[in-house]
């Protein structure tokens, strides 16, 4: 059974799924990797190794006592050459563990198929695996799979919408690893006693829909939701509403409406981890963009420099003027090709001069298109004005923290106003104005 669902707002963006038919190729280990101690939403990890230490594949090299965090593992075997730091996209520095590979890729002792006997042990194993949301958000999976007591989860939603242009990593997972996906669904539903499963796929991926339909035929409790291709269909709240008509209140979580949402690559990884015990040390990355010679889907070890990934795909036709980690709507511009691939890197896009030019902003004509496009029912115009004026009260009045920065408002604005940039600035100003917990 499948249904066709929709949500309010959003934007009709071009697909550019150039690598949809590009089978994933594995990139060999590089001589050096730089592994950041923050690759997730939440508290950063502290290094558990030091310069000169010998490490092996899958060994924990960073962890935190915080509930909202995830351990970090070595993706290569070799020698720790130092503990350094890099600039995070959030504007602060984070520690890194730098490792020189010995080329042997020796697996850490003790790694093997894990076992569990109850829900708590299952979620502890998910934390131990280092899994975070692989769709780009990077939220620790063990936290997502540990709903508060009293919150009954009746529905597991598998997010395979992949609504951003260019990115095909999730699509390739369905084409290449359907058995892992189905096994992962069984594992999560069994461990958390979830009765219903909905797999959401946009209608511009007919082969993925057909594959899932065949795999779930005759399976009780599993539905395939054929979704209209509209950005940001893959956003958690949009997807939940599209397939269940449940609304997640502002400031609340999907578990508050009885739902857990997992990316299709995340659910597949759970199956692989339970079969092998090998933690999250690699990621499939869609490499594309106007100046990339050989657009591809590449399986890359975490910590690999971005420049080496592009080299593996043939390099560039011309010097790139903008490189994005992620899609063109919500991706983050990179300031150096020496920065590493991290757990939630789902795409690397490189563009030339023509595509990198930021159009000049004009005056707002109060057309209301940004309001119509906002899937969160916000008023981007007023958020923009209040952010520029540093009006904290006004920003809070118009619920700036409910904005998920999808960029739909900026995309449809005829005046090309940089609404998302202003909103990010506004969020920072609200955060800076908030009283420090425990302070006066």
Answer yes or no: do 270 and 124 share one domain.
yes
Q: Is residue 72 part of a domain?
A: no
Look up residue 273 and give its two tokens: 């981890």
> Peptide bond before 232: cis, by omega within 30 degrees of 0?
yes
Q: What per-residue confidence (pLDDT) applies to 150?
A: 82
pTM confidence score: 0.94
In this prediction, residue 151 carries a pLDDT of 86
Residue-level pLDDT at 358: 86
Are 9 and 135 in a shared domain?
yes
218 CB burial (10 A radius; 0-12, 13-18, 19+)? exposed
Residue 295's nearest CA partner among 48, 4, 21, 9 is: 21
* Neighbour count for residue 339 (Cβ, 10 Å): 20
Cα separation, 239 vs 394, in Å, equals 29
User: Which residue, chain included where needed, has tokens 């919408």?
Assistant: 161
381 and 233 part of one domain: no
Full DSSP string of 379-399? -HHHHHHHHHHT-HHHHHHTT
Q: Are residues 260 and 374 in the same domain?
A: no
pLDDT of residue 439: 47
Tokens of 108: 């850490």
Q: What is the dihedral of CA 260, 263, 268, 271, to 10 degrees?
A: -30
Q: Are residues 272 and 167 in the same domain?
A: yes
Residue ending a domain, choose from 255, 276, 297: 276
Tell me 321's DSSP state.
S
273/142 Cα distance (integer angstroms): 14
Kind of pairing between the strands at 196-202 and 222-227 = parallel
Are residue 123 and residue 250 in the same domain, yes or no?
yes
Q: Tokens standing for 213?
A: 């339909």
Helix (H, G, I), strand (E, B) or coil at 190: helix
Domain count, the chain: 2
Residue 384 lies in a domain: yes
Could you tell me if residue 77 is inside a domain?
A: no
- Residue 1: per-residue pLDDT: 47
Structural domain of residue 158, as residue ranges? 2-20+119-276
User: Of the candidates 276, 292, 325, which is a domain's last residue?
Assistant: 276
CATH number at 153 reads 3.40.50.11540
Mean pLDDT by 10 residues, the chain (440 residues): 67 95 97 96 95 98 95 98 90 93 96 95 97 87 90 95 96 97 97 95 96 91 93 93 91 92 97 98 97 98 98 96 95 94 96 90 94 95 94 95 94 95 93 66
Indicate whether 135 belongs to any domain: yes
pLDDT single digits (tens) 161-194: 999 999 999 999 999 999 999 999 999 999 999 9
Return the pLDDT at 437.
Answer: 55
**Domain C-terminal end among 250, 276, 302:** 276
Q: Is the peptide bond before 42 cis (omega within 30 degrees of 0)?
A: no
Say if 287 falls within a structural domain. no
- Cα 265 to the center of its chain, rounded Å: 10
Residue-wise pLDDT for 69-112, tens only, equals 999 999 999 999 999 999 887 778 999 999 999 999 999 999 99
In a domain, residue 129? The reply is yes
**Rounded Cα distance, 294 and 19, in Å:** 10
Residue 390 lies in a domain: yes
């Amino acid at each position: 059974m499948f249904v066709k669902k929709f949500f309010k707002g959003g934007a009709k963006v071009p697909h550019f799924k150039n690598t949809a038919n590009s089978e994933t190729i594995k990139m060999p280990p590089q001589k050096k990797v730089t592994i950041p101690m923050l690759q997730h939403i939440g508290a950063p990890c502290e290094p558990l190794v030091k310069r000169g230490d010998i490490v092996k594949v899958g060994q924990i090299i960073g962890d935190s006592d915080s509930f909202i965090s995830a351990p970090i593992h070595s993706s290569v075997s070799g020698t720790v050459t130092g503990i350094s730091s890099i600039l995070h996209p959030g504007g602060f520095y984070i520690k890194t563990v730098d490792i020189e590979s010995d080329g042997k890729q020796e697996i850490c002792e003790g790694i093997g198929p894990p076992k569990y006997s109850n829900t708590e042990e299952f979620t502890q194993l998910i934390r131990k695996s280092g899994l975070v949301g692989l769709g780009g958000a990077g939220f620790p999976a063990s936290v997502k799979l540990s709903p508060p007591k009293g919150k009954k989860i009746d529905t597991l939603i598998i997010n395979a919408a992949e609504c951003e242009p260019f990115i095909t990593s999730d699509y390739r997972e369905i084409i290449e690893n359907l058995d892992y996906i189905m096994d992962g669904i069984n594992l999560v539903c069994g461990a958390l006693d979830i009765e219903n499963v909905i797999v959401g796929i946009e209608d511009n991926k007919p082969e993925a829909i057909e594959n899932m339909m065949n795999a779930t035929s005759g399976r009780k409790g599993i539905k395939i939701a054929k979704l209209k291709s509209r950005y940001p269909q893959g956003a958690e709240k949009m997807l939940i509403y599209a397939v269940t008509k449940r609304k997640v209140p502002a400031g609340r979580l999907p578990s508050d409406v009885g739902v857990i949402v997992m990316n299709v690559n995340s659910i597949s990884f759970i199956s692989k981890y339970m079969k092998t015990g090998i933690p999250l040390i690699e990621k499939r990355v869609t490499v594309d963009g106007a100046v990339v010679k050989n657009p591809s889907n590449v399986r890359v070890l975490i910590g690999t420099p971005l420049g080496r990934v592009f080299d593996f795909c043939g390099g560039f036709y011309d010097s790139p003027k903008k490189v994005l980690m992620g899609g063109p709507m919500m991706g983050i511009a990179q300031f150096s090709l020496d920065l590493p691939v991290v757990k939630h890197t789902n795409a690397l896009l490189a563009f030339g001069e023509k595509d990198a030019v930021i159009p000049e902003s004009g005056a707002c004509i109060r057309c209301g298109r940004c309001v119509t496009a906002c899937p969160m029912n916000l008023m981007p115009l007023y958020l923009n004005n209040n952010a520029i004026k540093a009006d904290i009260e006004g920003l809070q009045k118009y619920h700036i923290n409910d904005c998920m920065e999808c960029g739909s408002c900026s995309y449809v604005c005829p005046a090309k106003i940089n609404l998302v940039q202003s909103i990010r600035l506004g969020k920072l100003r609200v955060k800076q104005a908030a009283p420090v917990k425990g302070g006066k």
